[in-house]
Amino acid sequence: MQVFGYCRVSGKSQIEGDGFPRQEETIRAYAEKAGYEVVQFFREEGVSGTKGELDRPAFQEMMEEILRNGVRTIIVERLDRLAREYRIQESLLIYLASKNVTLINASTEENVTQAICDDPMKKALIQIQGIFAELEKNLLVKKLRKARDRKRQEGKCEGRKSYSEAKPEILEEIRRLHRKPKKGRRLSYQEIADQLNEKGLTTMEKLPFTASNVGKIIFGMK
């Protein structure tokens, strides 16, 4: 079975340390023992364990891949690599369970999301989250449809131009870099940002690209 590995260090100074290699080694060792194939690692660089899914570029990228390509299992070295605060940890676990994604703790070999699902109260929270996620999606689609209809009737309103209007060449370059090659893995948001910066390209605000704003641009393409 193919799986993803998720790693996180909270400080910028830890990015070049042994945190990522140690976590990946532990995950690989467990995966080999359990008969899993780790096809890609997602590194959360300098992100506090108190941050939720919306503030985690690598987590968002990983979920995007999961919902697209069918990999449904994530392995972490320990649960504190997912999140340090219990409330954030539980929130992320309930979110994963609501998407039918399995999370395994390599250090304890525990299927953590299964344990969550076996708790009647937490199972109810998973079901509630799934219902509200679907409701939120439907409301957003309806809202966007109304906005498009209004713009068609009123004409395009004044405001900040989009990348497709002001910098279409950058949008095309991001689309090219994000495209998964036939052989190999898709570039991470950070790797895309690094390549854009190396070429001297900047954001609409004349700033260097980051994993976060690359992720937002890619999300906006869909």
Where does the pLDDT of residue 37 fall: very low under 50, low under 70, confident under 90, or very high at 90 and above? very high
Q: Residue 166 has which token pair?
A: 């002001």
* 147 vs 93, more confident: 93
In a domain, 95, yes or no: yes
- Point out the least confidently predicted range of 34-43, 56-65, 147-156, 187-196: 147-156
Residues 111, 172: one domain?
Answer: no
| Amino acid making up residue 141 | V
CA dihedral 93, 39, 14, 30 (to 10 degrees): 70
Average pLDDT of 190-201? 91
Residue with the larger pLDDT of the pair 45 and 51: 45
Q: Check residue 157 and give its pLDDT.
A: 46
* 154 assigned to some structural domain: no
Backbone angles phi, psi at 159, to 5 degrees: 160, -175
Range 185-200 average pLDDT: 90
Same domain, yes or no: 195 and 103: no
Does the pLDDT value for residue 171 go beyond 70?
yes
How far, in Å, CA of 134 to CA of 3, rounded?
Answer: 26
Greatest alpha-carbon pair distance for the chain in Å reads 61
Is residue 106 within 8 A of residue 77, CB to CB? The reply is yes
Residues 6+ apart with CB under 8 A from 118: none
Rounded mean pLDDT, 183-205? 88
- Domain extent at residue 19: 2-118
In degrees, to the nearest 5, what angle opens at C-alpha 112 toward C-alphas 109 and 116?
A: 150
**Residue 9 within a domain:** yes
Residue 155 is given by DSSP the state -
Q: Quick one: 93 and 23 in the same domain?
A: yes
- The two structure tokens encoding residue 221: 């393409």
Q: Mean pLDDT of all residues in the chain?
A: 81
φ/ψ (deg, to 5) at 174? -65, -40
Q: Are 39 and 75 in contact (CB under 8 A)?
A: no
Domain count, the chain: 2
Same domain, residue pair 103 and 178:
no
186 and 105: one domain? Answer: no
pLDDT at residue 152 greater than cutoff 80? no
**22 has a pLDDT exceeding 60:** yes
